[in-house]
Structure 1
């Protein structure tokens, strides 16, 4: 059964699964050879399946399929648009002019109008900065986004692919300027990609930001199709992203298969269920190229993992400690290095 969580420190509630629409593209479109293309008929069917399952948030971006993803999502939602939340993004563009890329005021104002037109709506529920723009002052970006909120074209703002210090800086600047604050972080997280546990998740939780998790199956690596004996054809054959340390990754897949078999579930479902059990996760973005893939992913909400099973998956996928995390917690009066000394 679908659960709903508040998105950070807002009154907005989102389903624990989000439908990602990166695969929404016409046949022969810009993404069809790399990621796959659903076509409009299948895209509409997937949106209907998601709605029936209780999903209330749909994620896209201005550049997905060169804009086709937004167009197809808008058509698929139709008169259901008022009942759901649309999240899209701004940063990249399909053109190469000197002022096209990034999150300047000029770019944001241009791109929001284009996204609204493609989506067939007059407002965007969650407008996300797709990447940190090192060439534009954050003050300019925040003030432009704040204007969009006051104009009613955007309801909430989020960010994606920011490092922890960038997230903290953006939050602090918004408070200082009195502008709209980012309420969410969209970031990569999976059993073979746990780096955001180092700083991004702690920063998000400390600042009260929600999290939308993308590539939870690591581009299909955690679907069960990829083994030491050989890799099945699929998205990773053409687009090996996110990167995976395969030796540890195959150990993770072995453990997933063991748990999946004990629960009569798929490897993908266990991978998603692990994320749904993790602290700091608000919603997990699932996407698919085929109807049966989406149906399988939706079943993850019914999977309950025991503490022992979660611990087993945590252990096999554990990160190597990095500075300064490898220093153990100290008690008052205790030497910083005392716990590393031999008895």
Structure 2
């Protein structure tokens, strides 16, 4: 396993992040525990979850019962999130100081731990001022209940707002941003990646295989296998990107590469990326993700990928604002 530091911190994290969104709804608790054991066996120490995964905090509870077996918590950099509503009563969602306190206490209880390593805002809250958000987080930091803070699904402007507000309070602020990023969706290259680089924020891509369409989906369909792509997005994404996916799978076949391996390797090569979130269902799929570290991304291969999946903007070969301006 390869390791890097998370953003501008000294925290060492694995360059593959174990995503746990399927724990409970799609992966049994026993299989979830086996996957987390296997992740540790491969040197993956960075686990990501959220207080809404599984419904009613089920995923956090599954992780908590795994941690309770002993010898696991100290080996795990544990990341969870807040923002989404956890009930029908007012103040059971978003980022008010009240919900920050309640959500953190509830996650700590479900996870069975005394602290969260990385506490992430699952979405920007346009209703709550940054002074209130940071004050709520500062209290958690002072109490030793959270070590680092991060964001998810923020635009570059939101990262700037958050960091400037934190700077005025002499607070560390954000150290990580979790964004949708993959070959088929490179939109964050326009402003999120430059903003994250400027502020020393590590980028953690989610959906690295674009709901499965970058994992060899067409080859699986031709073999009569059930292609895994999320019901909420996969079919529509495949319809929209089919010519690109066809070209991508043909490129992988010519190069003798597994499509999923190449998609992960490309993300790992991007400047500012800490590591993509993987969501394996089996130990075999988890082990297969490690092949991404062995992919040789030569200049010709990168150029071909840029041809199939061009950088965003009419002048995508240039950084923003030239990417969309003159």
User: TM-score under structure 2 normalisation?
Assistant: 0.90
CA shift for structure 1 position 14 = 1.0
Rate the CA distance shift 1:298–1:93 in 2: closer, same or farther, 3 A. farther
1:307 and 1:74 map into 2 onto residues whose CA distance is 44
Matched residue, 2:325? 327
2:84 and 2:204 map into 1 onto residues whose CA distance is 19
2:173 pairs, out of 175, 178, 181, with 181
Matched residue, 1:19? 18
What are the equivalent positions in structure 2 for 1:207-222 lying under 5 Å apart? 207-222=199-214
2:103 and 2:225 map into 1 onto residues whose CA distance is 38
1:202 and 1:14 map into 2 onto residues whose CA distance is 22
Q: Check the 8 A contact 2:18/2:39 in 1, yes or no.
A: yes
What are the equivalent positions in structure 2 for 1:231-246 lying under 5 Å apart? 233=226, 236=229, 238-240=231-233, 244=237, 246=239
CA shift for structure 1 position 59 = 0.1
CA shift for structure 1 position 222 = 1.1
SS in 2 for 1:72: helix
Task: Indicate yes or no: 2:47 matched with 1:73.
Answer: no
1:290 and 1:180 map into 2 onto residues whose CA distance is 37
CA shift for structure 1 position 83 = 1.2
1:237 and 1:4 map into 2 onto residues whose CA distance is 29
2:82 pairs, out of 90, 96, 105, with 90
CA shift for structure 1 position 298 = 2.8
What are the equivalent positions in structure 2 for 1:162-177 lying under 5 Å apart? 162-177=154-169
Q: Where in structure 1 do 4 or more consecutive aligned residues deviate above 4 Å?
A: 227-235
SS in 2 for 1:221: coil
CA shift for structure 1 position 242 = 10
Rate the CA distance shift 1:207–1:68 in 2: closer, same or farther, 3 A. same
1:133 and 1:91 map into 2 onto residues whose CA distance is 8
Matched residue, 1:106? 98
SS in 1 for 2:301: helix
CA shift for structure 1 position 251 = 3.7
1:93 and 1:242 map into 2 onto residues whose CA distance is 28
1:262 and 1:94 map into 2 onto residues whose CA distance is 48
Per mean C-alpha deviation after superposition, the further-off stretch among 201-210 and 93-102 is: 93-102
Q: Which has the larger radius of gyration?
A: 1
How many aligned positions are there?
316
SS in 2 for 1:63: coil
Q: Check the 8 A contact 2:175/2:201 in 1, yes or no.
A: yes
Rate the CA distance shift 1:226–1:118 in 2: closer, same or farther, 3 A. farther
1:134 pairs, out of 126, 130, 149, with 126
Extract unaligned runs of 5+ from structure 2: 315-319
CA offset digits 1:110-150 (Å, max 9, x no partner): 01111011111110000001100111111111111111111
SS in 2 for 1:22: coil
CA offset digits 1:21-60 (Å, max 9, x no partner): 00100xxxxxx3xxxx111111111112211111110000
| Cα RMSD for the two superposed structures | 2.3
User: TM-score under structure 1 normalisation?
Assistant: 0.86
2:97 and 2:86 map into 1 onto residues whose CA distance is 18
